[in-house]
Structures are given as structure tokens and as C-alpha cells.
């Protein structure tokens, strides 16, 4: 019986380790791609939702080269839940690698080019 318990423990540990390695690699790959192939555009928040761990995330949409993309990120309390316009950083290599910056809401008159910006443009404060 002791041998079965140790085998189950080893298998459980191995599975947990594989999950950790997989998600760590995925996060590393996303950050590397965002650093190497960055572009910026405007994203619009769609909704706030709860995660399985009790956290809050925000879902947003953005457009790049005439294609629509959906992203999600950790919710910032200052964010407008629906219809807020914010800067989104994404990878041109894989636009599904993206993040939204919720600190500064963008006015309606600012429009992003379809290929995005290479750098974050100066955006005057919203009044």
C-alpha cells in the first residue's frame, strides 16, 4: 500500500510541475514577443468578469490591420467596465499576446492607424 501512495504522489507532483512549466513558458513567450514586436493601438473595454480564483478581469477588443481581436487582462479599479477606450500593447508577431493600460482613458477624437503605433503617442489629459 505504501508503494501505491508514493507512486500517486510522484505522478501528482509531476503533473503539477508540468502545469507550472507550461504556464511559465507561455507567460515568458508572451512577454518576449511583446518586447520584440511591440505595437500600440486603442482598445475598448467590453466587460468585467470574475475569474475562477475569485479575481476580476477586464475583456477588451482592438483592431489591427483590419482584423478584430479580443483580449483580457487584470481589472483595474479605475477602468470603465464597458466602452472605455485605453492604450493596448500587442505583438505584431502574434496579436493574441496583448495587454491593456487602464490608467489613462482616451478621448473619442484620438484614432489609431490600422497598423498601430510603434510608440505610445502623446495623449493630452481628458477633461
What pLDDT digit, counting tens, does each position of 11-23 carry? 777 788 777 777 6
- 92 in Cβ contact with 39 (< 8 Å): yes
Instruction: Find the mean pLDDT for residues 50-62.
Output: 88
Q: Where are the alpha helices (DSSP H) in the chain?
A: 2-36
Q: Whole-model pTM? A: 0.76
For the chain, what are the domain ranges? 1-36, 38-117
Q: What is the pLDDT of residues 81-124, one digit of tens each?
A: 789 999 999 999 999 999 999 988 898 999 999 999 999 887 66
Give the integer Cα–Cα distance in Å for 6 and 3.
Answer: 5
CA distances for 120 relative to 10, 27, 84, 101, 102, angstroms: 48, 23, 18, 11, 14
Q: What is the pLDDT of residues 66-75, one digit of tens each?
A: 999 999 998 8
Amino acid at each position: 500500500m505504501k508503494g501505491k501512495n508514493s507512486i500517486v504522489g510522484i505522478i501528482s507532483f509531476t503533473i503539477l510541475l508540468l502545469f507550472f512549466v507550461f504556464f511559465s513558458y507561455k507567460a515568458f513567450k508572451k512577454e518576449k514577443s511583446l518586447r520584440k514586436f511591440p505595437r500600440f493601438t486603442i482598445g475598448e473595454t467590453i466587460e468585467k468578469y470574475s475569474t475562477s480564483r475569485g479575481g476580476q478581469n477586464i475583456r477588451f477588443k482592438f483592431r489591427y490591420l483590419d482584423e478584430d481581436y479580443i483580449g483580457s487582462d487584470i481589472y483595474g479599479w479605475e477602468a470603465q467596465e464597458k466602452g472605455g477606450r485605453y492604450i493596448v500593447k500587442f505583438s505584431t508577431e502574434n496579436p493574441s499576446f496583448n495587454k491593456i493600460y487602464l490608467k489613462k482613458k482616451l478621448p473619442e477624437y484620438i484614432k489609431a492607424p490600422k497598423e498601430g503605433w510603434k510608440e505610445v503617442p502623446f495623449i493630452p489629459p481628458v477633461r
